[in-house]
Structure 1
Amino acid sequence: MTVYTGGCQCGAVRFRVEGELTHSSICHCRMCQKASGGYYAPLVSVRGAELAWTRGERKRFKSSNFAFRGFCGDCGTPLTYEAPDGLAIAAGAFDDPAALPPTIQYGIEAKLPFTDRLHTLPGIRTEDDVEAAEFINDIVSYQHPDHDTAAWPPEEKA
């Protein structure tokens, strides 16, 4: 049985999914753009799999008469799209989102015209941007790691 884990950026909410996840999508509708804060929302349906919330609880916003959007109440990470036909988890909330590539796009009537050209933009690796943003050398991440932990945040050493 395949197991997937994930959670929010701060680690207050974590989840575990057991089973095959075969429906990964991108939704371009305006509601998904607003809910994700992005140009589109990448979502993975957990229909047919077993979902367990292993740490914390998501908060929910009723975004329409049919749908709820789940998110972390501490850091704001978008976590779920919940509708009568099932629940989907934000792809980026999984510890290994590369394992769940999208297979279909929805809401293309609201697709922003430049999204098809994103791959043509110049790219800069984070460590190569130090001259423009010197603070990069001093970044200390407080983001939860991409794996389950016994407790979070870790106790600070004196």
Structure 2
Amino acid sequence: MTEPGFSGGCQCGAVRYRVEGALSSPHLCHCRMCQKAAGNYFMPLASADNEAFSLTRGAPRWFFSSEFVKRGFCEDCGTPLFFMTEGGDHVSVTLGSLDDPSAVVPATQDGVEGRVPFFHALPGLPERLTDRSDLPGGTQGVAGSSRQHPDHDTDHWPKERDNER
């Protein structure tokens, strides 16, 4: 049986982490710094006490987005992973980096002064299934050649550096 908590990591598997117990303050942050850090309209985050958090593989690189805040990311694949206040007692993890991102539902929206004005209309956009017929082998070809780490811890991580073509 799996211990209660959460595991997650970057897209390539170079950085993996574990949170023992619950995550708190799950939210969507719309501030401009989070938008830039995520390369998205918002960044979903939740917090864990420092004592409950551990790295299980690798180590992130850190960028100080301000004097007081640092953001951790994988230096190999660029995945944004963590948000920490320097000297703080908790780390926030990006909810998309969890092995099961649906396990934590955001409860608030923060930094709404930076929210893009069309955010409310996004759920009304037309929906389409993934179709990569523009690529060799289509969607199955992409899935069959994926270098994405699986959504669970592994004993072995086959690091590949052939993504620099």
TM-score in terms of structure 2 length: 0.86
Is the contact between residue 7 and residue 99 of structure 2 (CA under 8 Å) also seen in structure 1?
yes
Q: Which residue number corresponds to residue 82 of structure 2?
A: 80
Contact persistence 1:81–1:87 (CA under 8 A): yes
Q: Is the 8 A contact 2:10 2:74 kept in 1?
A: yes
Q: Distance in 2 between matches of 1:92 and 1:130?
A: 22
Change (3 A) 1:130 1:31: closer
**Structure 1: how far apart are the matches of 2:139 and 2:118?**
29
Number of aligned residues? 153
Q: Mean alpha-carbon deviation: is it higher for 92-101 or for 1-10? A: 1-10
Code of the residue aligned with 2:158 in structure 1: it is: P
> TM-score, structure 1 length as denominator?
0.89
SS in 2 for 1:46: strand
Whole-angstrom CA distance in 2 between matches of 1:122 and 1:64: 38
Alpha-carbon shift at residue 113 of structure 1 (Å): 1.2
Deviation at 1:137, TM superposition (A): 3.3
Q: Which moved more, 1:21-30 or 1:9-18?
A: 21-30
Q: Which contiguous aligned blocks of 4+ residues in structure 1 show a shift greater than 3 angstroms?
A: 130-135
- Give the percent of matched residue pairs that are identical in Structure 1 and Structure 2: 48
Indicate whether 1:142 and 2:141 are aligned.
no
1:5-31 CA-to-partner distances (Å, cap 9, x unmatched) read 000000000001101113211110000
Aligned partner letter, 1:62: F
Which runs of 5 or more residues in structure 1 are unaligned? none
Residues of 2 paired with 1:154 and 1:77: CA distance?
A: 15
Q: Which amino acid aligns with 1:2?
A: P
- The structural deviation recorded for 1:130 is 4.8
